[in-house]
Structure 1
Amino acid sequence: MASPGERAGEPSDRGRPVNDVQLSKFLSYICRHGAEKKGLTVQEGGYINVDDILELREARKNGYSVSDVQRVVANYPKQRFSLRSKPNDDGKLQICANQGHSLEVKGLDLVPILRPEEAPVVVHGTYRRAWEQIKKQGLSKMSRNHVHFAAGLPGEDGVISGMRSSCQILIYIDMKKALEGGLLFYRSANNVILCSGDENGFISTKYFEKVYDITKGVKLDY
């Protein structure tokens, strides 16, 4: 299946080519961070009416249509979005981001991870420039609601999202220790593992199992 980057000139129903990468980034911003700033209503599960999004100035300027949104959701390899028919309203479409929110969202489709064996690999990808700070304070959710982890390395079976393939540092979590320490982990609809951290939004280095610099092929101390 083609990725958005391979369909950058797809014709729109409104008569002009649509850049699917640009549309995907626009949808990510709206669904994860900007809906309330744009005056949109975020419903249970993080769903937003597609028609309302398409009435925004940026959407009208770029000529986005419902079929454009459907195509991007269907083709995006990381499966960052879900679509549904609006309950009790003539089947109108709604969209949500599967994870990555800074918005407070009620009823997001997340499955709790209660035992270590339910998530044998939990790994966070980052960059060398961030490692010294992480080594001092642990992982931070920063402006988002959760720290994001992959259930394996990019390209492995079932791993479609959770980290960028360009990451230089891999931080593996000791799930037994982390769960016993009271941290809460969830699995999103697109198999990203999420954790909000402690009361301050941090995951301490004491819950790290191992850390690798994969560009240098060395294990890191912390």
Structure 2
Amino acid sequence: MSYALRHGANQMGLLMATDGFLYVEELLAHSQFHLYSLEDIERVVATNDKQRFKLRSHPEDGRLQIRANQGHSVQVRDLELRPVLTGSPDCPAEAVHGSYLGKWNSIQLQGLSRMKRTHIHLASGLPGEDDVISGMRKDCDLAVFIDVPKALADGIEFFWSENGVLLSAGDSEGKILPKYFSRALRLRPTRAVNWFRLVIA
């Protein structure tokens, strides 16, 4: 379901609206989902620990719809993202990107990249901290902290998704460069702050 709602709707012949919603009945009628029921869909939405999905009744025809709140590789024009403004109460001093130690050499030289997705995903803190629901995979062993006000001052935009993930398309090349890194944290096997020599480009 995550693939259909984030990446593959068009290839699967499913009609996605500009706000990312699909009709649940059309999803369940697809050959890949015909063995599932509405109750299965509702259970996945209700129990997803990162609140990745949203159900709603269509505002005009009342039919049930579903969408992914973030994580798309396809353009979703009307995703209802909330922009982060400098100095606003919801503007964090730092945001965290989860990655892997094996990628650090590349990250510290080239920065973070959105790659094939529409946004770089960031969290407002580390997993387990207050109000942090989503923003990084559970198996990440590296946390890279971004100076959000500094990046905003240089024109890099950030947005809050409906499930509390901080999203950024990065610069014109889809990157957040190392000059916006404030610190890094090794998460496993034990936590260690600034265990590397940070290279600023």
TM-score by length of 1: 0.83
Q: Deviations over 1:105-148 (max 9, x none)?
A: 11102100012552233100100111111112100000000000
Runs of 5+ consecutive residues of structure 2 not aligned to the other structure:
none
Deviation at 1:169, TM superposition (A): 1.1
How far is 1:88 from its partner? 1.9
Q: Which has the higher helix share?
A: 1
Structure-1 residue corresponding to 2:74:
103
Q: Please say if 1:195 is aligned against 2:168.
A: yes
CA apart distance, 1:214 = 2.7
Q: Which of 137, 149, 159 matches 1:186?
A: 159
Among all aligned residue pairs of Structure 1 and Structure 2, give the percentage whose two residues are the same amino acid: 46
1:77 and 2:49 matched: yes
Matched, 1:94 2:65: yes
**Number of residue pairs matched by the alignment:** 193
Contact 2:183 2:193 in 1 (8 A): no
Q: Residues 1-222 of structure 1: matches in 2 within 5 Å?
A: 27-60=1-34, 63-89=35-61, 91-115=62-86, 118-215=91-188, 217-219=192-194, 220=196, 221-222=198-199
Distance (Å, rounded) in 1 between the aligned partners of 2:12 and 2:125:
36
Conserved 8 A contact 2:54-2:66:
yes
Residue 22 of structure 2 contacts residue 67 of structure 2 at CA under 8 Å; is this kept in 1?
yes
Moved over 3 A (4+): none
Question: What SS does the corresponding residue of 1:83 show, helix, strand or coil?
Answer: strand
What is the deviation of 1:166?
2.2
CA distance in 2, matches of 1:28, 1:165: 17
Cα distance per residue 1:56-86 (max 9 Å; x no partner): 11112xx101111011101111100011112
